[in-house]
Amino acid sequence: ELGCGRGEYTIGLARLHKDRNFIGIDIKGARMWKASTEAIHESLENVALLRTNADFLLNHFGENEISELWITFPDPRPKEKQELRRLTSPKYLDFYRQIMPKGSFINFKTDNTDLFQYTLDVIASQNLNVEAMTWDVYNSEHEALVYGIKTTYERIFTPIVKTIKFVRYQI
């Protein structure tokens, strides 16, 4: 889970899939404290947390080391000059291609319409295969793909925004 914050997906997926390892990555250690506390309390041995900037992913992971990626509610970076810092930008897709096998899935979930449209445009421009896409995941046939796991931001913004966008695509 890239930009894991409090690690809701990291912990939630680890609970569901005890036979797989999950790594939560975030730059802010204070956010990850909750995830680490839960993982220790529940004796989840398939959870690790890494405090680093997404720009340094290649320093921590080797070729084909990551089999699937979750990006949930990242900072939308709305200003045009911040495009290169968006976790769904072509810059980061190039990073992901270096650490994920071809055909691996990226799961992206957001409440931000502009960031979602930007991500769909990037996916189209890179000719990537979309397995599932919806502008309202909780009122779609793709709801099961998000495992019912909700981040803190999602719980905060769902009553305000009403719809959560989701896309699952292959690199």
Taking alpha carbons only, the member of 119, 111, 116 closest to residue 152 is: 111
Assess whether 75 carries a catalytic annotation: yes
- The active-site residue, picked from 19, 26, 55, 75, is 75
CA distance linking residue 19 with residue 15, whole number of Å: 10
- Determine the distance from the C-alpha atom of residue 16 to the mean position of all C-alpha atoms in its chain, rounded to a whole number: 17
Q: Which residues pair with 45 in a beta bridge?
A: none
Please give the positions annotated as active site: 75
